[in-house]
Amino acid sequence: MPVDLQALYPKLIHLMLDTVFVVDPDNRIVFVSDACEALLGYRADELTGTLITGYMHPEDLVATKASIVRVMNGQPHFDFRNRYIRKDGGVVSILWAAFWSEEVGARIGVARDVTALAHAEEELRFLAHHDPLTKLTNRALFRDRLETALRAAHRHTSTLALLFLDINDFKEINDTHGHTAGDQVLCEIAKRLQGCVRETDTVGRMGGDEFTVLLTELHGPQAVAEKVEQILAALGEPLSDEFAALRMPSCSIGVACYPADGADADALLGHADEHMYRIKRQRVTFRENLTG
């Protein structure tokens, strides 16, 4: 007995895990497979007859409309990605394969949910530019932002400041309380540093117990001095009870200002680092004199 493929095709479409859409030239949905409920939260009968553009993420509308024009001009699009708003208000990332059918007089698209993949890609992009422990910008991104800020300062004849922080006696915390406790302290330091700066500034972790702060749009040396005092005061606050016997360590801060202390990133980083070590040596010498 021959297989009736014509009768089988509709059932196969509704068995697909990906969602099939058929959309007329006016962007109205004329058919959608049953998988749409898992994808967008709507039943097929809720979507049929409505405008597909009404479900698109507002930030992706321009790019999506450009893709629609491309498809309707006879150029299939097999790798287009955008976001849609689900019935429950959530956002789903979709990978599309779409083409225009002259025979049907509509565009036909197959939509695949790639939300998990999009989140994984976003996480990888974040980790490429941020410290995995503190979530601060890492050395590479901080340097990039410093160089960008230097170009802007040069164009506008403005100033900026670079702070280089080293946590004093941090090794004692790791040696006495363990690296887990040390990591908790580093995260607390990162949190307090971020609380001291504006959105236009950048806090970075250079590695180990070294942090950097980029201050832009400054109004004179006094503003830098006040920011250093604010940071020292914030880091001088005791730790909360959840840290048990841990004591908040002090820090040494070196400062470099553009253009007075250097015209490029290397010069400023070197000057701030050297200044920080001078302060650290003075602290050690002072403590030795007290105990000597």
Structure tokens at 81: 């990605």
209 labelled catalytic = yes
81-85 long-range contacts (CB < 8 A, ≥24 apart) are: 81/114, 81/118, 82/56, 82/57, 83/56, 83/57, 83/59, 84/39, 84/40, 84/55, 84/56, 84/57, 85/55, 85/56, 85/57
Q: Three-class SS string for 130-194?
A: ECCCCCCECHHHHHHHHHHHHHHHHHHCCCEEEEEEEECCHHHHHHHHCHHHHHHHHHHHHHHHH
Selected catalytic residue, list 113, 131, 209, 273:
209
Structure tokens at 94: 């979709």
The residues annotated with a catalytic role in the active site are 209
